[in-house]
Amino acid sequence: MIRADFPVLARTVRNGNPLVYLDSGATSQKPVQVLDAERSFYELHNGAAHRGTHLLGEEATDVYEGARAKVAAFIGADVGEVVFTKNATEAINLVAYAMSNATVTGGSSRFRVLPGDEILITEMEHHANLVPWQQLCERTGATLRWLSVTPDGRLDLDDLDRMITGRTKLVAVTHQSNVTGTIPPVTDIARAAHEKGALVLADAAQSVPHQPVDVATLGADFLAFSGHKMLGPYGIGVLFGRADLLEAMPPFLTGGSMIEVVRMEGSTFLPPPQRFEPGVPAVAEAAGLGAAVDYLSGLGMSAVAAHEESLTAHTLDALREINGVRILGPDTTKDRGGAVAFEVEGVHPHDVGQVLDELGVAVRTGHHCAWPLHRALGVQASTRATFYVYNTHAEVDALADGIRYAQRFFGARQ
């Protein structure tokens, strides 16, 4: 029944093959409920939220703030702790640039970063949770440090207490690797960081769409994720921030909608979350995201996670049976999400992906915006299958059959 909600899954692709979509880690497909929510806004309620006193403006504001309330409830946050951004990448940059601004303007000491201070990340990070911190260190003179990964793709936490020091300003860590599916113990990392007075940001782009996430339990001070990876539209993401931290944090982008009083001599800014949402709000996108939250809530996130764990276990078993295939990362589903990256001996990942595409199987190839992690695992690139609510066990079998066909096609196996 779920698949019927996703029109794209009924189409055929290359050579008349049915679409087997195994690239939800890059972007998810959209159910009709999300498409209808966006269309309904434009057809019936199109107005600028938080601007104007006419009916359409009021309805747009209700749609926008209603979506914020749904997202807040979905992750166990207060409404005022949910900031809408373009995507997870912008959400992470918002925090990094706010720390720069606090350094320049003499803002809260929680955010000021000075020479000799440290930012701690991990070798597992997506570039979106790596490059912004590199840039912050370049702007401020701080030192970037990182936790390494073990050969099986998990975080090496043996030196965690030594790596977090009194100079550590922030620890940034993924909540689920977009390559190996590894789920680091963010709660434990956050506890260790807070004992040293450091802030914690979790990249949840790969976790919030796929498993129950409660920000109070997780313990991170900031959490970033994207709408388009959780059945929602492009162009909208979320930054969760603890209320006291958002209140003390200077803005990143400035302009209309986020100001309190403007004079030629200077300006003051609205409280969070509006302080961090300049310009006309993306109401249609918020409507779609709210509908996506409703859809996932209707399924139940525990059921979503269980379905993906079943598919992942099937995939790990199927790939282990193919000679010449190396699975990157953990070989069990313990503390592991629905992303399975692998290499095929004697066949370049791009060639594997092309052959699979000819068979109708859509996967991701390359370094998946996680180049350091691939280097740490001893490969330059990989092929990756990622799963979601609409995938089936038959599609896992199609992936395995396609890999065998690719081996035969390139003469890697008889």
Catalytic residue among 287, 369, 370, 389: 369
State the sign of the Cα–Cα–Cα–Cα dihedral 97, 100, 104, 109: positive
- Per DSSP bridges, beta strands 339-344 and 143-147 are unpaired
From the list 170, 298, 165, 284, the residue with the least C-alpha distance to 232 is 284
From the list 378, 384, 345, the residue with the least C-alpha distance to 366 is 384
Displacement of CA 7 from its chain's centroid (Å): 24
CB 220 within 8 A of CB 170: no
From the list 269, 245, 184, 259, the residue with the least C-alpha distance to 218 is 184
The total of other beta-carbon atoms located within 10 Å of residue 317's CB is 12
Location of structure tokens 């099937």 = 314
307 vs 20: CA distance, rounded Å: 17
From the list 207, 178, 213, the residue with the least C-alpha distance to 25 is 178
412 vs 414: CA distance, rounded Å: 7
99 vs 114: CA distance, rounded Å: 10
What phi, psi does 409 have (nearest 5°)?
Answer: -65, -40
Report DSSP letters for 187-198, one per residue: HHHHHHHHHTT-
Active site residue 137: no
13 vs 21: CA distance, rounded Å: 11
From the list 388, 240, 383, the residue with the least C-alpha distance to 301 is 388
CB 174 within 8 A of CB 213: no
From the list 118, 99, 119, the residue with the least C-alpha distance to 109 is 99
From the list 312, 250, 283, the residue with the least C-alpha distance to 94 is 250
CB 391 within 8 A of CB 210: no
**Can you list the positions of beta strands (E) in 330-375?**
339-344, 361-362, 364-366
What are the residue numbers of the active site? 369
